[in-house]
Structures are given as structure tokens and as C-alpha cells.
A and B are shown apart, each in its own frame.
Chain A
Amino acid sequence: MRREPPEPGGARTPDRRPPRLALRLLRRLLPGHRGDELVVDLAEEYAGRAARSPWPVADVWYWIQVLRPSTTRLGRELSEVRTMRVGRHRVPGVAPKGLFDVLRYEARLAFRSLRQRPGFSTLVVLTLGLGIGANTGIFTVVSGVLLEPLAYPDPDGLVVVGLGPDLEGPATSMSLPDIVDLEEGASSLTTLVGYSGSTATLTGMGDPTLLPVGRVERGLLSTFHLAPVLGRDIAPGESGAAAAAVAVIGYEFWRDHFRSSPDVLGETIVLNGASYEIVGVAPHGFDFPDHTQVWYPRQIDPDTCARSCHTWYTIGRLAAGATVPGTQVEADAIATRLSQAFPETNLDKTFEVRTLQDVVVGRARRGLWLLLGAGLAVLLIACANVANLVLARAEARRGEAAVRAALGATRGRLIASMLSESTLLAVLGGAFGLALALGGVVVLRRLSAGAVPRIEMVTIDTRVLLFTLGLVCGVTFLFGLSPALRASRMALATGMRRSGRGVTSGGGRGLRRILTMTETALAIVLLFGAGLMLRTFAEMHAVDPGFETRRILRFDLYLPEASYPDLESIRSFFRTLEGRIAAQPGVEAVGSIYGAPLGEGRSSGHVFVDGRPEPPPGQEIGAVLSSVGPGYVRTMRIPVIRGRDLTPADDRSGTPVSLVNQAFAHAVFGDADPIGERVRVTVNFGFGSPYWEIVGVVGDVRASSLTEEPVPEIYVPQGQDGPGFMTVNIRSSRPARGLIGVVRSEVRRLDATVPLRNVETVTDAVRRDTASTRFLLAMLGAFAGLALVLAAVGLYGVMAYLVSQRVQEVGVRVALGARPGAILSLLMRGGLGPAAAGVGIGLLLSLAGGQLVEGLLYGVEARDPVTLGAVPLVLLVVAVLAVLVPALRATRVDPASVLRAE
């Protein structure tokens, strides 16, 4: 009921009207009936002034009145007035018009309306929070592990070249001549440096400690675009046959051991009994590879195996503008050339170029993206649930929307009003989710230790916050827009007519069916993934590793070469130690090995049989060479299948003998008896004879991983050949960890300069080996469980709603004599139909997406029929329960009371 300023020609109306623009602005500032009071007052006064003064004076005055702060304040005051008295009636206050005012107004309305329905609001915020929290948590890991660049300058240009193809695992090692040829031949590489990570015993600086060290072909710093903070890096000429006794130390080592003294250059450190002169200090934070703090030149014996010894890892830098695929093309060409030039060592050898980031992240990549996908699926289910709730609520409030529409609210305004509620819910859900993620990341870090690299880098940062914000926006539109559009259309078309009657429109039911179907389908996909991981986990645990895994404590010892220069000193150290430990109460057996299963350090080479022609290049049989103490096979309960075990008498004075595993026997001798045969292996530990007589065949062990098939292995007695690095295994009749203290003191008693390393139980090693599967299983399992619960809650909600809408119909049917069974099946068909369709769609999706998880499975196919059969069953049982409860309630409807209500 807007009144215009007085018309010209009236009793008190002058000829002139206020400036049109100013009037429009004033109307915008002062909306509604109450605002007209001032509009008219000002128009009257303007007319008076315009009649008295020359032209622009009144206009200027009018503009000043419009732009006064008090005018804006009046607009605000008026919008605060919720109800006003018009005559004898109280009517709703005036709604604001400016965009900002509308937003504020709608936000306040939304808040108020959500506070009035705490049950609904809490359910929605919890549901969304769980979905958003799961995603934010996983994305935090993805962001920290996969997206965060490595903490080196220009990390994108750092590459690793290994022997290919090895698409998923860490890079393999190379031979030094190949590395040199690659660096010289590939123009897209500015540097390619060989190194090998190792450990060395540091003495002369307090207690002896084992340090991670890098033995390098030359300094690594320039490849990383770094410069030493003090002194220089290792020069190219310093490695080689007579390696220079110089070392570069890490910044942290410099700080901790030399108090950051600038006079450190020229000092010496003693590693493995040898002295190295410090020539440089690496910059802060540089610890490549693997937390290395000391780098020194690696000795290269020109007479050893050269191109056939793959003992070097590489780190290189791409030239400006070069790409990994381009470099790969060059590497392929070089590999072909070398294959022709050196067929005896390089036949079919290929090189594989990968970024350092890729190598570091490795296998974790696929699992993490998979989990992020699973998280999004959970969020979609949550959205579908919430959309259902919002839809039901919008229908319940159809009357309210219709009244607003009748009073002149536009469709856009109605949509905005409903969306603002959704936005508020999403924001609250996002805040709750973020809080969940904050706690979740702590749990994730612990859960994924050992399963995901760089997990310590993971924190909630700006990228994560932006991701969450994006989720909140996406979620708002997903669950809010469609119900808002529908409800606004309904309000305009049918709202008034139907308001108050419990009849659901066909369109609403359709949308609801689609939502139910979607969430069922997604839940099936998640359950399927979790099912496959569960089967994988079970298969892994069913695997017989071939050795005892319980109650065995083990630790590594590294005897420095300076104190233990020959085999006899090493042998006598380990025999004495084994004897002393074996005498401890509770110890059943003790045995040492170089090349422990699921442990560090394994050497492999080619095998040749004495008296047989050597196979042509490329067709040799490879085997892993281990050196074992006399009690090892017994300690690990590896069965001796033929012949005999090794004994303490197998030492330098006797014939060189060996044990082989079944895989070896089969690969080299087929069905023939290997006992008594003599074999030669192309690698040794520096003391061995060329030929080993096989005296026994032992059972296969899965030494590199539980999921990898056993490979040919040959065990030689440590008394005849072995390195100073051994793993001592102790089988105990009590919990193995109880022995740690005794073991430490025994080692110290024998040689106080030898530190213990990697003290663990074999059970720990098995856990580490299955860590990534356990992590994936735990996460996918949690997501699938969440999905199942959400889907069940969703189904229950929809069913309860549908039933409540059909109470009258049921009442009439019961009155007309329908049996409870018939009513039940009628109602359940309505609820279970979409669920069944969702199951079908979900199964199809699972089959199609199977190859995404293929690389993460073990012992199970991506189309595993057991999982395919079990998952729909689980879901259907849950669905029937969710639908049954409200349907049963409906059958107990009292027809009389329903008809009375009619």
C-alpha cells in the first residue's frame, strides 16, 4: 500500500516533485509502509522549499535529507520492527531490500528457524560434519603427502633414474658406468649423481652411535641447488679407487657435535674406525637421503663387477625446460645403445626416469587418492540424506512459503530464504567437520605410520581450509538447491491449495527415490572396496611366511671394519654373543643372518652350476645370497626338507657348503636332487670361495614381503663367508620384548663400541610389512561403516516420512479389511524399490571401478565373487531393517482414529 507523493494540482500540492533518483534511493533505504511517512513528509517540505527558492536549492536540500545518516538509521530501525500496529492489527514488520540487508535478514531468520527445530538441525549438522570431517581429514593427508612439494629448492626438477620398469615401488639401484653414460648422454639432465645410503658407527664423540651416512660419487648439494654453509662439497675426483678421506657434515650434526663452530673445517670424525677430514657443512635441513648427516666419497674398485653391479642410487637435476617424458626418451635411446655395446651386462636393461617426489610418495599415492574418493562418496551420501531431510521440511513448511509468495515474495527470494538455511547448516557442519578433522589428523598420523611416507609433514593448512570451504559451498548446493527450487515452485503453484493436507506430491517422491538410490549405490561401492581390502588382509594373514613370526626378538649389529677386519673376528664375535644369549633363561634358540626376512640388506646375483655350461646373457637364474649363523634355520623354524642343517663346524677349515631353498632347487635343478651339487654365485661377502656344495634343502620363506612369492635363496655359513652386518634372532619362550635389557648388556659386555640397531620383534616386522594394507583397510572400513549407517538412517528417514504421509490411506485400507501382511508388503515395496535399484547400480559401479583398487589387492580379484555376493546382502539386510520399523508401526494404525481425523 504505497502512496505516491501528493499529486500536482491538489489542495496542498505544489507543482514540483523531488529529484527522481533521490526519491528512488530514499524508497530503497526506507522500505514499506512505515517508510512512506518520511517520504511524504520530505516531499511536502520539498514542495514548500521549491516554491520559495530558486531551482537547485530545494533539490540540493532534498538530496542532503536522503543522504543523512539518520535516514539510513531509520531504515535500519524500521527493519528491526518485527510487528507493528496498523489500526487495531499487528502485522509483520518490513523486510529489507538491499542485498546486504537481505542477507543479514535471511541469516537471522535462518538462525532463528533452525534454533526452533533443534532435532532437525543437530541431525543435519552431525551428518554433514561427519562427511566433511572425513574428507578434510583425508585431504589433509593428501595435501601434505602428495601435493606439498619437497622441501628443496626447485623440487620439480629433481629426478631419480633407476632400472625399469618399476612403476610403483621405490627406485631401483644402478651401476656406476651406466650412471656416467646417462649423465653424459642425456642433454635434458644437468647432473646425475650416484650415491648409496648406509649406516656407519661414529666413535670418538661420546657413546658409539650408528649414523645414517651417504656414500657419494661426488657432492649432492649442487644437484639440489644448494651450497654448503661452510667449506666446500665433495669434489668429483674424490671418489674412486683411492677415495679421499674427506666428509661433509650436516647442519644439525655440526650444531649438535661441534656447537656450530666455524673452526670445524679440518677437524676429523671417525666412522667405522676410519678418520675423515671435515671439508664442508651442508645447509640447514638438508638430509638427503633418509636423514643422512654425513656424506663421504665412496670407494670404487675398478676391478669389480662394474656394469653388472647395481649398487648405486641416483639423484639428478633436469635441465631448464626439460621434462620427465623427454628425459625418458633420451634414457631409452641410451639404454638401447648400451644394450648393443655391452650385451653381456646390459641386454634388455632399461632405465626409468621419475621425479623425486614420485619416488618418495611411491605406493601411497594410489591408496590416498582412493581414500579421498571414498571420503567424497561418504559426503555425497551425507548430502543425499540431508537433502531428504530438507525436502521433507520444505514440504512441511509449504504453507509458510505459500503465504510469503502470496504477500509478494519473488521466487528468487523464496529460494534465497531456503538456501540461506542450507548455507547456515553447511557452515555449522563444516565447522564441526573441521573440528573432527583436527582430531582425526592426529589419529591418522598414528594409524598411517609406516604406511604413508612424509606423514609427519601433514597439518591443517590454508590449502586444507580452502578445500573445506569448497566442500561447504558444494554441499550447500548439493543438498540445498534442489529442494529449494522444488519447494519454491510448489509454493507458487500449489502451496496454498494443499497446505495442511498430508499429501506428498509425485515430484517429491521421485526426487526422494533418486536420492535413496544414489546413497544406496554409493554405500555399495564403499562396502565393496572395504570388503576387498578385508579379503586382502585376511589373505595376507593366511599366508605362510615360511618362518616363525611369534616370540622372536631381533636386532642389527654392525661391526666396524677397523676393529673386525677379517672373517674370523666377525665369526668369533657372533658365536660368543649367540652362546651368551642362548644361556639366558627363557631363550630357546639364537641365530644370526645377513639378509633377514622383512629386514634390511639383501644381496642377489646370478647362479652357475659347476660342470654345466653357463647360460647365455639374459637367461641366468638369479638368487638371493644370505650368510647365516649355525642356529638360524632352527631359530626361525624353517624346515629342513632334505639333507642337513648348517653346523658350527662349517667354518674355514671345512668344505664350503650351503643350503638352498625349494624355489632355488626347483629353478636350478628342476626335479633332480640338488644335494652334493656345487654352485657359484656372482656375489660374495669378500671372504667366500667361488663354489658352494649344497648340503641341504630348506623351506621357502617370503623374505622381501609377505605378498611376494618366494625367490631362489642360497644360505652360506657365516663361518665361511659373511659381512660384519648381521641380524641376530632370538626365539624366546616368553614375550620376546622382555629380553631387550639382557641382550643390550650382553652386547655391551662383549664390545661397548658396537651399538644395537633396529631392535624389534618379527611380529613388528610383519606388521610393518602389512602396514599400508592395514591402513587402507581401517580407513575404507571406517568409511564403509559410516556409509552404511548413513544409508540406513536415510532409508529409515524416507520410509518413516512416506509412511507418515500414507497413514490415512493405510487407515482406510485397514478399515476395508486389508490384512497387516498386505499393508506391510505394500509399504515396504515403496521403500525397498529404490534401495534395490541402488544396489544394482552400485554393483555395476563396483565392477567398473574394480581396476582402481587392483594394485592394492593381494590374493583377491577386483571382481571377487564372494565380496560381490556378500556386500548386497549386508546392505539389503540393513535396508530391510531400516524400512521394516516404520512399516510395522503403520500396520498398527487404528483405522477408527484415522477416519475420525479425516
Chain B
Amino acid sequence: MGLEEKLPSGILLTTVEALAGAARSASFWPVTFGLACCSFEMMTMGTPRFDSARWGQEVFRNSPRQADLMIVAGRVSQKMAPIVRQVYDQMAEPKFVLSMGVCASSGGMFNNYAIVQGVDHIVPVDVYVPGCPPRPEMLIDGIFKLRKLKVAKLPIGSHREEVEAENERLALAKPATIEQKGLLR
């Protein structure tokens, strides 16, 4: 990662991060990964009515190597799962995953032998957008939240290594979902 590692930490890096984050979120290109019905709403987001080109997202890159964002739109079947992982692996850092629709988030209405119950079994997901299918406005909202909260603030260089190590430590210490009791009071 060459240049980014040699950048000095501290205030200067924060400024560089803000600049890089602004650039990244201004041209946040997704890879075409429409699997099922949700892909229609994703395509609709690119149409003139909702127009993802307004914020630099009209280019759905066909090659994952040129993309920043993987919008998993639709059911992931058992047969498709290794392919999802392969496309994710082919993307270059920094990459983000948006799980669109309930089928990609949790298996949706399909709780059976053929559908993976949530794409987060396969790839790490940054934002989940529920819906069956989510309206393009909901998908846009999810993308905007992702851009504002994660992409614009993405750490670079040595700062990133520190943040990653900290996140790893927290994730290992966190209890499993089934253990998190008492939250519905």
C-alpha cells in the first residue's frame, strides 16, 4: 500500500483521511450483483426517476476489481454462495458490502435447504437494508448512511491498522447474538 503507509499520523493524516473519504464517497461504484427480485429495485435506482448518477453512482462496474461496493441484491442460494465470496475477494480494498432486501440480510421468507440464511454467513456486511424489495428510496438511504458513516470516515495507513486491530478485539469479546439477553425490556 506504498504511499499510504508512509503518511505521518496525527492531524495531517486526519485531513488526508477527510479528503480521501470525500473523494471515495463522491464516486462510490457498485459492482453488478443483482441476484433476484431486489435487483430490479437496484436497477430502478439507476433510472432517471431516482438517478443514482446524482451522487456519482451511475456506473455499475461489471468487474469487481474496479468496484467499491457490492450490493448483494437478492436471495443467495447454496450454489451461488462460493461465487459471492469469489466476487467479494476479487474486489480491491477498501470495499464495502450492502445487503439489500431481507433475503440477503437474513434469508428472508425462505427458510429452507436452498437459501443461505443471510449473506453475512459468507461476506462481512456493512449495512443491511430490509425490505421485500426495499424501495429505491430505502436503498438510497442505506447507501447514504454507508457513505456518511463509514466511507467518508475511512481510516488510512497506520491509523487503519490500529482501528482494525481494535475492531477485531471488540468483535472477539462481544457475546454471540443468542447470548445478548434482556434487550427487549
Are A and B associated in one complex?
Answer: no
**A interface residues with partner B (beta carbon < 8 Å):** none
Name B residues whose Cβ lies closer than 8 Å to a Cβ of A. none
